[in-house]
Amino acid sequence: MAIPKILVLSGSIRTGSHNSRLAALAAKALTRAAADVTLVSLDDYPLPLYHGDLETSAGPPENAAKLKRLFGAHHGIFITSPEYNASITPLLKNTIDWITRVREPKEPPLAAFRDRAFAIAAASNGTYGGMRSLMALRQVLELGCGALVLPDQIAVSAAATVFDEMDDLREERNADRLRAVLAALVEAARQFT
Ligand SMILES: Cc1cc2nc3c(=O)[nH]c(=O)nc-3n(C[C@H](O)[C@H](O)[C@H](O)COP(=O)(O)O)c2cc1C
């Protein structure tokens, strides 16, 4: 059976980020599920705030091109997304915005988002576990970028207390949900290998 390549990233670069913990846990689980996993931190791909004048004068930054190539090199992408004021983080939105501006000659628009599967997850201390950031992220990816975003998703509430000392999810309910989301992603990503 073909081995899908899965990219994992968190929409937070905060030290101790719950979403980065969730991303790291997902990366571990995906590796166990025989996927070829790349876990990246957006801290390693700093980007200026999108500005049309900057794009006109200098084009998209090299880090946007690198991330776009990374997206293109994977069959599945797993994104964990913190909730800021009922939406996604400016970091994640700015990163996606820049990636959408990178286009190779003769390439169709938004190529990095097409022909691959996305799965999304959130972690928050709030009751809804960042569910509203998932709604916003789904809109950006599906409507804005034409991406296939799987219906399976996970929103982890009470995020400060749900991880044990091994960085696993304590509650079976959360662990089962994450397993289901990742299994769906591996299966969908395999279709694009
Ligand atoms: C500007 C700002 C707005 C926030 N708005 C929300 C919100 O609407 N809903 C929510 O559940 N948490 C909200 N939070 C709390 C974050 O979800 C929380 O800080 C979370 O831990 C951030 O993710 P991280 O741990 O991965 O960095 C907000 C935090 C910040 C800084």
The finding on whether 87 has its CB within 6 A of some atom of ligand 1 is no
pLDDT band at 57 (very low <50, low <70, confident <90, very high): very high
Q: Is the pLDDT of residue 1 over 90?
A: no
pLDDT band at residue 52 using 50, 70 and 90 as cut-offs: very high
Q: What tokens appear for 87 in the block?
A: 């939406």
Whole-angstrom Cα Rg for the chain: 16
For residue 66, the model assigns a pLDDT of 98
Q: Are 110 and 153 in contact (CB under 8 A)?
A: no
150 falls in which pLDDT band (50, 70, 90)?
Answer: very high
pLDDT number for residue 31: 97
What average pLDDT score do residues 76-102 get?
98
How many A from CA of 128 to the centre of ligand 1?
11
Cα–Cα dist 130/45, whole Å: 24
**CA 35 to ligand 1 center in whole angstroms:** 30
Q: 84: Cβ below 6 Å to ligand 1? A: yes
Burial class of residue 27, CB neighbours in 10 A (0-12, 13-18, 19+): buried
The model's pTM:
0.98
Crossing angle of the two packed helices 90-100 and 62-72, in degrees rounded to 10: 80
Ligand 1 lined by 85 (C-beta under 6 Å)? yes
pLDDT above 70: percentage of residues in the chain: 100
Q: Using one digit for the tens of pLDDT, what is the confidence trace for 16-48? A: 999 999 999 999 999 999 999 999 999 999 999
Average pLDDT over residues 109-131: 97
**Distance in angstroms (rounded) separating the CA atoms of residues 155 and 30:** 18
108 alpha carbon – ligand 1 mean position (Å) = 35
**Residue nearest to ligand 1 atom 2, measured at CA:** 84
Q: Ligand 1 centroid vs 107 CA: distance in angstroms? A: 36
CA dist., res. 30 & res. 100, Å (int): 26
Answer whether 60's CB lies under 8 Å from 101's CB.
Answer: yes
> Are residues 187 and 119 in contact, defined by beta-carbon separation less than 8 angstroms?
no
